[in-house]
Structure formats: C-alpha cells, structure tokens
Structure 1
Amino acid sequence: MVWNFQGSASKAKLAALKDIIRTYKPSVFALVETHMGGEHANKVQKIVGYDSHARVDAVGFRGGIWVYWKSDLVNITPVTKHPQYITMEIARNSETPWFFTAVYASPGPQNRKELWSELENFARQNNHPWMVAGDFNETRNLSERHGGDANMARRCDLFNNWIENCELVELEFSGAAHTWSRGNSIETRQSARLDRALDKGTIDLEAKLRRELDEILEREEILLYQKSRVDFIRDGDRNTSYFHVSTLVRRWRNRISSLKNSDGVWVEDKEELKSLVVDFYKKLYTQEGDYDVNAEIPYDLFSELSGDDFRWLTRPYTEAEIESVVHNMGALKADFKPCFITKTGRWCVSRSVRR
C-alpha cells in the first residue's frame, strides 16, 4: 500500500491510517510526502504496530518517505535511499524476490530529471520484477491535469519516454481521476493525477500471456478446422467462427431425430427409437427359415476342375513330400494353384509343390 500522506501530524490522518491498515492488513505500506522527521516516523510505527521500517526524512517541510513492514511476513532489504525514492528488495517465503521503489518526486523539474536518470539506470541493471509507486509529480497526458502552463505537453512526452525506456507498464486503478487538487474557486482551482503505480514485471507477464493466448487460439483453430472437415480456409486466418458454424451444420445434418417403423409411422420418442434400432439389428442378424448357403455361391466365375485335377489335389501327402518339406525348407517356395469350385459346391484344397 502506498499513500501520499501530505503531512503526518494530523490526528485525523493517523486515525484514518489505522482504519485502513485494520481493513486491508498490508504486509508492506509506504507513506510519501510526510513533511516530518524521524521522531514522528518512530511514533507512527508504534501506533500501527509494524516492527520494521526504512525512511528518508523530509528536508524541512518538503518530501519524506517512510516504508513499514512486518518482518514475520516478508523479508525486506533496503537497496537505495534517496531524497526522492527508496528502493528495496522484497522476498516472501521461497518466492522469487522482487524490487519495490516508493517515490516522491520533487516538484522541481531539475530534481525530477535526476530521479528519472537514476531509476532508468536501475532498470537497465535489474533483472527481477520491479514495481514503482508513489507521487511522480508529473502527468502522462493533458487530460490528467486541469490547469497548468503551455509547457505541459512537452513534460508529458518526457515522462512517457522515461516510462517506455524503463519498460514499465501502468497498472489499472479505481477512484478519482485526479489525485491532487488546489484552490477554492473555479478561477484558482488546479488538479492532476500525480499518483500512480508502474510495474516492469507486468510487461513480462503480458508477453507470456500473449504467447499462451496465441497457442490456445492456434489449437482452437486446428480443432475446429478438423471438425468442420473443410478442404481449405476461405475467409482468412483464425476464422474460428466459420469453422464452428461448419461443424454445427454438419452435426445438424447428421443428427437423426426420428425413424419410421414397420407400420410407416415416424417415431421421435427416445426410448421408442432405442427399441426400434435394437429390434432392427436383431432381425438383421437373426437367421429365419431355411436358408441355402450354396444358393448364394456363384458357379460361373471359374472353370470346372477335371476329375484328374481334383483327385491330384485331394490325394494324401506322401512320406517323401513331408520329408522334403522338413529337411529342405530353405529350398521350398510356396506355389498354389487357383482354388476352384466343383459342381457339388465344395471348395478345392490347394497344395504346395516344388518349383
């Protein structure tokens, strides 16, 4: 949790802080623009009940960043402390450690330029997930600001270029469009969205999710393409809706919703359809009455065997033939004469002979 505290001496703000912590129970929270020194930071630590903290104190009544955490929940190692930011490494149990930077950017453009340069250098050297959150005292476009000078568009471009160079992605948010305001009348009122959270880990996650989505879409396309049984793609790549409709149409055409029984009546009831199908196949594969198998055998496809050929084919094997097969298997080759059918309907037996 990161809160632009805008001064921490108020009892009302301290009471609100306790309520927020009691509701959301953050393991780590940061207060930026505290306007106070270390003594008050220790007092806040006792009030909220967190046993560890790191801070950069305000310079006069400007700035100040305090970060608190519970050491039994997270292991935090401060990496860099700067008047405009604190960077720390956060680890929880056996998870991969990541970096967190709490920011309160200076209202002065030259000081902010120094902040952008230092954080950009850290981004180049860092190979772990990184979140940057806090008050950047800058906007990304003119719609995030009400009022201001004509130089604001150029400042927005510089800020956007810095975010892109650091490979950061802005996280979604809910709440008021502008997080800072000043002035009590329409003529004097100014407002802007100065607070935001940026993540480097999100851009890697986005790339991973896009790869997974592409793979899933490709599998879906292939599956629907196969189901549709079409020979080519007519309407472009990944036309899954076309393949899906083709599959549904084929299923609809192949679906049997009714059958006609032996009385010529259409049957649509599921149970009656089951009985009708079962009875049909029982009757199909059940032999009824006298059935002459020989009547189905064609006799005019092959020439009739002569008596000598039939007797030669059906004669008993001689002992010499058996010995020849057993002792000379390598020299034997099977050669079968065609199988003929006699007038009596009996199939002839083929014999193996020496070539």
Structure 2
Amino acid sequence: MITLIWNVRGAASETFRCIFKELMRQHRPDIAILLETKCSGDKAKRVIHNLGFSYSILEEAQGFVGGIWICWNRPDINITTIEKHSQYLYVKIQTQSEKEWFLTAVYASPQSQNRRELWPKILNIANQTMGDWLIAGDFNEIKDSSEKKGGATISNRDCKVFSGWINRWGLIDLGFIGSRYTWRGPQWEGQDRVFKRLDRALANHSWRTRFHEAMVEVLARTNSDHHPLLIINERERVRGQDRPFRFEAMWGMHQEFQNCLNTSWNKNNSLLGSFVDLKEDLQKWNKETFGNIFKIKRRILNRISGIQRSRSYGNNRYLDKLEQDLNKELENVLDKEETFWMQKSRQQWIVEGDRNTKYYHTKTVIRRRRNKIQKLRRTDGSWIEEDDELKDHIVNHFQSIYQEQVSISPIENLYDTLPNFNAYVYMKLIAEPTEEEIKNALYSIGSFKALESDGFPSLIYKNNWDLMK
C-alpha cells in the first residue's frame, strides 16, 4: 500500500488541483492525506469530488485554519474513524486480504501552546493501540540540529522535548529518501533562508517489523512550502538473487553441530581450503539436519494447539507427556530464534530480562533499512532506482576509481627517512606472534564482528580454538 501525505497550505485552488492530479498520476497512491486544507463544509466536499475521490474522512478546518482529509478510491480499503481532533485523525485501515493496521494523520498546530495539547493525546493513543500503528504528517517540530538549516539558533530544550516524546511513545522514525528538509521557511534580512524537517513518518515496533521494507520518499515541493511524503509499505521483492553464505550462531546450539564441524574440518588442509569445505558441509547440514526454525516453530505450535483441542486433553497421559515434550522443543527453538535475531541486529550484548526476540528483530529491521541503498543520484542530477542499474552504477564507479593510473616516483635517501631502532625493538618487530598473542587478539574482537567474505565471524574461531589453531 502507498500513502501520500502532504501539507498543501490550501486545497481549493485550481492550481493545486492540477498539481495534485499530476502527483496522483505519477505515484498512484492508494490513500491520499491532505493537511492544512483551509476549507470545510460543502466546499470541502466539492473539492474532494473534483479531485476524483469516492471515499473520504474529514476533520474540518476552523475557518481558514487547519483541516485534515483522508481520501481514497479503492472499494476494498475500509477506513474507519476511531478519534478526531483539530490536530489529528486516528483511523483503522483494513483491506479484504490483509490484517488491519492503525494510522494517525497529524497536523500539529504552528502555535506552540496549542501544540502542547497534542502530545498527551498522542501518548494516550500510543498506550491504547494494541496493533500495528503508523503516525505521520506535519509535526511542526524537529528532533535535533541536523534537521534545520539557516535562520536563528535552534532551541535545544524544544528538540529534547520532542525527541523525548518519540522515545516515550516507543516509536521508530522511518527515515527518508530525498531531501533532508521537508519545509522551506522565510528568509529574514541578514539571515539565510530557513529549512526544517517538520514532516515525518513514525511507527511502533509491530508496524515496523510487519512492513520491514517500508520507506518514505520526500517528493519535489510545488505549490506549497512543504514537500509531499510518499510512504510505501512494501517494495516489490526481487527474487532469484544469490545470497552470500553467513555462518549462523544458532547452529552451535544444535546437538549435532560439533560432530558436523569435527567431521568436516581437515587440519592437513590449508586454512582457506578447510573453510571452503566447511562452508559446503554446513550448507548441506543446515538443509538436511538443522532445518528452518520458523517452520519448526509453527509446526510445534500447531501440534500443541491440536493437543489442547483434543477431547481427551487433561485425561490422557500420553497427550500430557507429548505436550510437555513439545513445550521443551519450543523453548529450544525460541532460544535459537533469539540468537538468530541478536546476530542479525549486530548487538554485542544480551538485554537482561525475558526473551528479547522482538527487540532484536526490530533492531535488525532498522539496521537493514538504514544500510539499504534505495536510489543514487548521477552527476547530471537524475536518480537511479532500479536494482540492476544501481548495481552497475556502483561497480562502474569503483572500477573507474581503482583503474586510475598513478605514477610512482623513487624515494631518494630511503635509509635516512627510516627511524633508528635498537636491537631489542628490532627483534620484537620481526618476531612471529605467539599463540597466546594471537588468541588474545582474536578474543578481543566482538563475536559477530570481523565477518570475512567467506561468511565466518570471529565467533567460530573462539568456540573452536583448539580445533582450528
């Protein structure tokens, strides 16, 4: 699903209608959210009809101030109002084929005293929303100095208050692709023009993990001092790409892992050759023995559910024993799943308390989203968005860098430029490192760090030092 959200600074003009229809034609959003529409009543209904929408939910403008519209055309999208306010619309969104999720469209008042009324209400929504929740719009606030350019010095206190509220809500900023600043302000005499990132999209952890490919694109600004935001829940997946091998730490939790490792590892072979053989054997072992933990977890849960639905449940010793054994298997699988997501999240420590699979999963989604290249700009200013074009552009760029011819001039008086070492320091420099020094250096590296191109992190060396040294 694609959602367009835009502070339009008035929706009634003919100029806006033409520009907005072109935006809809180019990006084809399923839902359009217009903020600060500055019209209400019958006039608002006529404008919505002229924009070509069949369905809408409105928070009316107060005279020529404010106004929030949620508009759509697809008959299979069902949007119901949960709560209305002059600064937000809180709705539930559901399609016939997907699970429901919740959306709060925000137009925070430019008046700070009115804006203060908004945050407690949003906090209340955050506390009562049990499902996947997205909150997006014009917040009229910035989190830190990186979100403003030009003008007077920022208020660190206001930034801390806003960022503090985001943390208290437990929300994740979806980031942006395109312009960093979403609002262009005035240019006062003697100062640079002001730019700020006032518009953004935030989500709770369940929305973010459900739509882990979601991204926010900042579109070109026209007919308003705000940029439109295009929120894309899911990108079209590219299939058939070969994934590189990665050693999974959870494999070591299987009772047969050590046997596989001992059988595969050949001390008479070179280190490189041993790892090539080990990689092939582990890939086969993973498929034939270890299995897919997510499928195994679903199968165990289904079996437990079947036992508990049985008519003889509670009066059958065999079923009681089977349920007990399945719960032990489930505990083991959940431990492996936690280790899986912890490794993906690149965390170096365990969070104390209950099982933290949800925390590590969320961290992984954020890290992957941050590291993913969605588009690149060419030297002529045009953008590259297709995966194959991105790949070719990156390869060609680095090939052009490393194919540059560099002339090397001989260094005269080489020995005069070298430092003088005494015999003791010289012997230390040329001495081979001891086994203990190598081991200490290895154990100082994070277990999931130093991932080589072969896909093995330092963890496997640490856990199998006696075998591999």
TM-score normalised according to structure 2 size: 0.45
Q: 1:181 aligns with which of 163, 168, 184?
A: 184
**How far apart are 1:22 and its partner, in Å?**
2.0
Give the Cα separation in 2 of the matches to 1:17 and 1:220: 53
> CA offset at residue 170 of structure 1?
0.8
Task: Give, in whole Å, the separation in 2 of the partners of 1:77 and 1:203.
Answer: 18
Task: Give the direction of change, closer, same or farther, for the CA distance of 1:110–1:187 in structure 2 (3 Å limit).
Answer: same
Q: Which residue of 2 aligns with 1:303?
A: none
Residue 134, structure 1, aligned to residue 137, structure 2: yes
For structure 2, the 5+ residue unaligned runs are: 214-245, 281-469
> 1:193/1:207 Cα in 2 relative to 1: closer, same or farther (>3 Å)?
closer
Native 8 Å contact 2:264 2:277 kept in 1: no
Deviation of 1:124 (Å): 0.7
Aligned to 1:229, the other structure's residue is in SS state helix
User: Which residue number corresponds to residue 200 of structure 1?
Assistant: 204
Alignment match, 1:83: 86
Residue 276 of structure 2 aligns with which residue? 248
Structure 2: distance between partners of 1:154 and 1:226: 59
> What is the match of residue 217 of structure 1?
248
Q: 1:84 Cα shift?
A: 0.3
CA distance in 1, matches of 2:203, 2:25: 26
Contact 1:228 1:244 in 2 (8 A): no
Q: C-alpha separation between the residues in 2 aligned to 1:131 and 1:66?
A: 16
SS of residue matched to 2:25: helix
Instruction: State which drifts further: 222-231 or 185-194.
Output: 222-231
1:42 shift after superposition: 1.4
Task: Identify if the C-alpha distance between structure 1 residues 204 and 67 changes in structure 2 by more than 3 Å, giving closer, same or farther.
Answer: closer
Q: 99, 104, 119: which is aligned to 1:96?
A: 99
Amino acid at match of 2:274: S
Answer yes or no: is 1:29 the counterpart of 2:32: yes
Tell me the SS of whatever aligns to 1:55: strand
- Tell me: CA distance 1:134–1:208, structure 2 relative to 1, closer, same or farther (3 Å): closer
8 Å CA contact 1:27, 1:70 repeated in 2: yes
Deviation at 1:5, TM superposition (A): 0.7
Aligned length: 238
Equivalent residue in structure 2 for 1:55, among 40, 50, 58: 58
- Counterpart in the other structure of 2:262: 229
Give the distance between the partners of 1:207 and 1:6, measured in 2 at CA.
Answer: 30
Asked if structure 1 preserves the Cα contact closer than 8 Å seen for 2:175 and 2:200, the reply is no
Contact 1:41 1:66 in 2 (8 A): no
Shift of 1:172: 2.8
Indicate how the Cα distance of structure 1 residues 250 and 149 shifts in structure 2: closer, same or farther if over 3 A, else same. Answer: closer
Structure 1 stretches lacking a partner, 5+ long: 210-214, 233-241, 253-355
- 2:170 aligns with 167
2:172, 2:205 → 1: CA distance?
Answer: 8
Q: Once the 2 structures are TM-superposed, how far is the Cα of residue 85 of structure 1 from its aligned partner?
A: 0.4
Max Rg structure = 1
1:56 and 1:227 map into 2 onto residues whose CA distance is 64
Q: For the Cα contact (< 8 Å) 1:167–1:203, is it kept in 2?
A: no
Q: How does 1:258-297 map to 2 (within 5 A)?
A: none
SS of the residue 2:103 aligns to: strand
The answer (yes or no) to whether the contact 1:100–1:132 under 8 Å persists in 2 is yes
TM-score relative to the length of structure 1: 0.59
Cα deviation 1:38-87 (Å, max 9, x = unaligned): 33321232223221111122223321111112251201111111000001
